């Protein structure tokens, strides 16, 4: 068994005392011959006890630090070292505590990511189950035969509609994965947000007419560095989302403005607003504030998640709020290009 640090120090001091005694005898430092024997016997004994005291004082903090490290290694990640004792020991304890905090943060991130992946798989499975069940039911009914022509057309229409829905879901998932997994891969150039918003509005014009919703683009914002197609998609997704909650004859406005070092793009509607309890989760995958909408008419709940991913990939932020006068406002802030 290896000796402890405390014992090693005590033995070292005892041996030092013994050697010192022999040197004193060799130099004739003692006046009486019998003192030689007494010194040789007493020196190591006294040195041992003195060494034990000194060693205890020197090693107590190290032993506590070692015990803390052992406890942490055994799984107690809340334990922290006492920052007491000599300067060197305090420095080691502080470094250990910083390392322990970093380990705790890494563990928390891993758990969060694992939970996110588990939830994602569960959500995707749920989203796939409904259209697949509808397709299977319609196909089995057709295979059974004796189906009236009108019913045949209805079942085939169901199959085609649900297949299209699966395609949209797959495309949205792939797009979200590409955006979130991108590492500086966006083709950045100076983008005029007003022009991007007007193009998105033109693209959505038939949809707005079908929903009897008036869409207006107003204001100006500084240019930003970004991917023009992605930013146009941000506007399109936010406008599409807003128009779903506005009654016929309602209005959706894309308002552009500037803040210090930021370009601001806000999409405002005069609908009923968003329930307060839904605001924190609006940008979560597969989450929809209006549960009365069917999966087919309301989509899979990925539109706002895609918006947030695009905005964050551009170094920006997005928030949603209800307006005092009614309706809701989705505000995107992007770093201005500095032009």
Residues 6+ apart with CB under 8 A from 93: 61, 65, 81, 82, 83, 84, 85
pLDDT digits (tens, 9 = 90+) for 299-326: 556 778 888 888 988 889 999 999 888 8
What is the mean predicted confidence (pLDDT) over 62-81? 80
- The two tokens of residue 193 are 């947000």
- The answer on pLDDT for 20 being more than 60 is no
- The answer on pLDDT for 161 being more than 50 is yes
pLDDT digits (tens, 9 = 90+) for 35-68: 444 544 555 555 545 555 555 556 677 777 778 8
Name the β-bridge partners of 217.
Answer: 254
Q: What span, in angstroms and rounded, lies between the C-alpha atoms of 239 and 244?
A: 9
What is the mean predicted confidence (pLDDT) over 4-16? 52
Q: What span, in angstroms and rounded, lies between the C-alpha atoms of 327 and 213?
A: 14
pLDDT digits (tens, 9 = 90+) for 127-138: 677 678 888 888
The domains of the chain, with CATH numbers, are 5-79 (no CATH), 106-181 (1.10.287.130), 189-335 (3.30.565.10)
Look over the chain and give the mean of its residue pLDDT values, rounded to a whole number: 76
């Amino acid at each position: 068994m290896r000796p402890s640090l405390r014992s090693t120090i005590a033995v070292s001091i005892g041996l030092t005392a013994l050697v010192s005694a022999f040197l004193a005898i060799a130099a004739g430092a003692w006046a009486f011959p019998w003192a030689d024997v007494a010194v040789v016997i007493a020196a190591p004994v006294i040195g041992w006890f003195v060494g034990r005291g000194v060693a205890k004082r020197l090693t107590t903090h190290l032993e506590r630090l070692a015990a803390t490290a052992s406890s942490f290694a055994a799984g107690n990640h809340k334990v922290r070292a006492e920052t007491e004792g000599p300067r060197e020991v305090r420095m080691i304890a502080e470094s250990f505590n910083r390392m322990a905090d970093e380990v705790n943060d890494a563990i928390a991130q891993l758990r969060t990511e694992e939970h996110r992946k588990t939830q994602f798989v569960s959500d995707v499975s749920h989203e796939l189950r409904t259209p697949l069940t509808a397709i299977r039911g319609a196909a089995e009914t057709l295979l059974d035969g004796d189906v009236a022509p009108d019913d045949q057309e209805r079942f085939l229409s169901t199959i085609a509609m649900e297949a299209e829905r699966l395609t949209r879901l797959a495309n949205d998932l792939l797009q979200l994965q590409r955006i979130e997994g991108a590492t500086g891969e966006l083709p950045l150039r100076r983008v005029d947000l007003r022009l991007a918003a007007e193009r998105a509005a033109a693209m959505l014009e038939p949809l707005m007419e079908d929903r009897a919703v008036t869409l207006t683009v107003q204001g100006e914002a500084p240019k930003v560095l970004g991917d023009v197609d992605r930013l146009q998609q941000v506007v399109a997704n936010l406008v599409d989302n807003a128009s779903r909650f506005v009654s016929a004859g309602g209005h959706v406005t894309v308002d552009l403005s500037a803040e210090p070092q930021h370009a601001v793009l806000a999409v405002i509607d005069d609908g009923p607003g968003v329930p307060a309890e839904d605001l924190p989760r609006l940008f979560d995958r597969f989450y929809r504030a209006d549960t009365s909408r069917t999966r087919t008419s309301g989509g899979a709940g990925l539109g706002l998640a895609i918006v947030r991913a695009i905005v964050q990939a551009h170094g920006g932020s997005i928030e949603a709020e209800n307006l005092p006068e009614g309706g809701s406002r989705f505000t995107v802030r992007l770093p201005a290009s500095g032009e």
